[in-house]
């Protein structure tokens, strides 16, 4: 996916030089236009940039093409935008826990590009690194490479749009000839991510598993918007602790640490209960 569908002028940063902090999530997403492409961090319900998603929902942008590991659930994460009919295309690796997603896909309302999880991560990283494409063994000998995966249904059970065939080439790796499929990088108009800590220059630190796809999504966006639980001054983050350098981040929104964080399935047992 490449940018180019957005119709409005994109403001890469702010007018305050290296200080990238904006006052609110609403201000941060105000210029995301209809038809924009977005890379969104998160894995399941972990690391979802909920303040930015909710602000975008209120802002009203539609016909959005979104790249993320999954599309949230019916009432959380990207599922909020999906339920409001704001998404025209979803590129993801997993979509199994959202009934509305299934309905829209099978009815032909939503285009879906399913991508192997590791390949999706590398496509985002490549897009953020200026790499146009790469070869991988993942998907060789399957419809990922051979084409024919449904991307959009016609609403009557037929396939209106299918995935194309991809180039496959042989390379010698460690003296063994193997086949690889060509995968194109992903670059988007915007990126939305959630971080535990960030400074005014946009350097980010993520919390444990909430790091997931977020650095890669951030890299892929022409304009990256990060919501942070803790905002600190430049220099307060040890350079060795920075997970994503501020060069990739254009706007920072402080949301505080008391925001709601959901989990998909609670699997703890009562205190003292035997396993």
Query: Is the pLDDT reported for residue 1 higher than 90?
Result: no
Query: Is the pLDDT reported for residue 5 higher than 50?
Result: no
The whole-chain average pLDDT of the chain stands at 92
Alpha helices in the chain (DSSP H): 25-28, 50-59, 79-83, 99-107, 117-129, 143-146, 214-220
Report how far apart, in Å, the C-alpha atoms of 241 and of each of 21, 198, 221, 237, 244 are: 20, 11, 22, 7, 9
As a whole number, mean pLDDT of residues 188-206 equals: 98
Summarize pLDDT for 117-139 with one digit per residue, the tens. 999 999 999 999 999 999 999 99
Query: Is the pLDDT reported for residue 262 higher than 90?
Result: no
What's the whole-model pTM score? 0.89
**CA–CA dist 133, 186 (Å, integer):** 9
Residues constituting the chain: 275
What contacts 81, CB < 8 A, 6 or more positions away? 53, 56, 57, 64, 66, 87
Place of tokens 């909430």: 210
The structural domains of the chain, with segments of one domain joined by +, span 25-132+185-254
User: From the CB of residue 176, how many other CB atoms can be counted at a distance below 10 Å?
Assistant: 7
As a whole number, mean pLDDT of residues 23-51 equals: 96
As a whole number, mean pLDDT of residues 34-59 equals: 96
Instruction: Write a three-state SS string for 64-131.
Output: EEEECCCCCECCECCHHHHHCCCEEEEEECCCCCCHHHHHHHHHCCCEEEECCHHHHHHHHHHHHHCC
User: Which pLDDT value is given to residue 9?
Assistant: 43
More confident residue, 34 or 13: 34
Contact indicator for 191, 99 with CB cutoff of 8 Å: no
pLDDT-derived band of residue 15, with 50, 70 and 90 as boundaries?
A: very low
Query: Is the pLDDT reported for residue 7 higher than 70?
Result: no
- The SS3 call for residue 211 is helix
Question: Could you tell me which of 107, 106, 110 has the C-alpha nearest to residue 63?
Answer: 110
Q: Which residues are registered as beta bridge partners of 233?
A: none
pLDDT-derived band of residue 16, with 50, 70 and 90 as boundaries?
A: low
Give CATH for domain 25-132+185-254. Answer: 3.40.1080.10
């Amino acid at each position: 996916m490449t940018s180019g569908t957005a119709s409005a002028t994109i403001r890469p940063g702010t007018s305050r030089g290296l200080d990238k902090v904006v006052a609110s999530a609403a201000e941060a997403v105000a210029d995301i236009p209809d038809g924009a492409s977005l890379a969104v961090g998160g894995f399941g319900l972990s690391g979802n940039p909920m303040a930015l998603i909710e602000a975008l929902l209120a802002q009203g942008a539609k016909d959005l093409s979104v790249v993320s590991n999954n599309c949230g659930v019916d009432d959380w994460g990207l599922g909020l935008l999906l339920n409001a009919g704001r998404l025209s295309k979803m590129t993801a690796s997993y979509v199994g826990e959202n009934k509305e997603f299934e309905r829209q896909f099978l009815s032909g309302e939503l285009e879906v590009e399913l991508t192997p999880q590791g390949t999706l991560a590398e496509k985002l990283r490549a897009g953020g690194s200026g790499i146009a494409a790469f070869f991988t063994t993942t998907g060789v000998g399957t419809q990922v490479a051979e084409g024919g995966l449904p991307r959009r249904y016609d609403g009557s059970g037929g396939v209106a749009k299918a995935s194309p065939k991809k180039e496959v080439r042989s390379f010698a790796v460690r003296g063994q000839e193997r086949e690889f499929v060509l995968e194109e990088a992903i670059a988007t108009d915007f990126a939305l991510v959630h971080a535990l800590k960030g400074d005014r220059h946009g350097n980010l630190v993520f919390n444990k598993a909430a790091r997931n796809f977020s650095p890669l999504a951030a890299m892929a966006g022409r304009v990256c918007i990060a919501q942070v639980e803790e905002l600190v001054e430049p220099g307060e983050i040890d350079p060795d602790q920075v997970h994503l350098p501020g060069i990739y981040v254009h706007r920072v929104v402080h949301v505080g640490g008391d925001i709601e964080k959901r989990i998909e399935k609670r699997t703890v047992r009562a205190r003292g209960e035997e396993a």
